[in-house]
Amino acid sequence: MRVLVIEDERRLAENVAHGLRENAGYAVDIANDGEQGAFLASTNEYDLAIVDLMLPKLSGQDLVRRWRSEGSRLPVLILTARDEKATVVSLLNAGADDYVAKPFDLGELLARAKALIRRGKGRPAPSLRVADLEINTVERTVRRGGRVAHLTPMEYRVLEYLAHRPRAVVSKEELLEHLYDYNWEKFSNVIEVYISGLRRKIDAGSEIKLIHTSRGQGYALRDESDAAAGSGGGG
């Protein structure tokens, strides 16, 4: 998952980004004012925006209004030092999905961020299931048929993203866009390497294969019985 943090207090922005990277495994981009945040959101795909209310150049509330007027469904979590009822009502009416009052506990922020991402994907439960595969997004653990699968951090991130879109074919480009931050050079075969590792750890020894390749299109996580004929095998 890829998150945009828009916060003008640079130390706070870095602390939030570090927490998201280390504790949730998310890719994170940082903007220090509303206009920069608007630009990044218009040129990249994000799964969540964490936005300070009082931003220079363009306020968090005005930024949310702009996104909603443009039809954006990007989940937005507002950071605010003003948690009085009128402010909260105004934020929610503008289109924000949730808010956290400063000073906040990082654990609470992470929990709210994960919940918003899950809801944004239409998968509100913390546990994702495909056939006998279970992914606990809180503990970041994976089991297949009750057996623990020991994944690398990037293998887990690829699998979780596919699990949020079960049966859909997800292109390599989309995976790169959502798994790496703004500074990543997105021209390599890393996705193929992660998919190969997932096949060894998830599908090996199982009669039902869950990870499928649609040649020239991308990858899908689905029960083999749901796979369309001719979708392609390895890769």
**Residue reference for tokens 């890769």:** 235
pLDDT digits (tens, 9 = 90+) for 68-90: 999 999 999 999 887 777 888 88
Q: What is the C-alpha separation between 155 and 36, in angstroms, rounded? A: 31
Confidence check: pLDDT of 228 > 60: no
Pairing state between β 2-6 and 48-52: parallel
pLDDT digits (tens, 9 = 90+) for 19-64: 999 888 899 999 999 999 999 999 999 999 999 999 999 999 999 9
Element (H, E) at 214: strand 211-214
Structural domains in the chain, sorted by start: 2-120 (3.40.50.2300), 127-226 (1.10.10.10)
pTM across the whole model = 0.79
C-alpha 228: how far from chain center: 27
Element (H, E) at 35: helix 34-43
**Average pLDDT of every residue of the chain:** 88
pLDDT digits (tens, 9 = 90+) for 191-212: 899 999 999 999 988 888 999 9
- Residue 183: the pLDDT is 65
What are the φ/ψ torsions at residue 147 (nearest 5 degrees)? -90, 130
- Residue 42: the pLDDT is 93
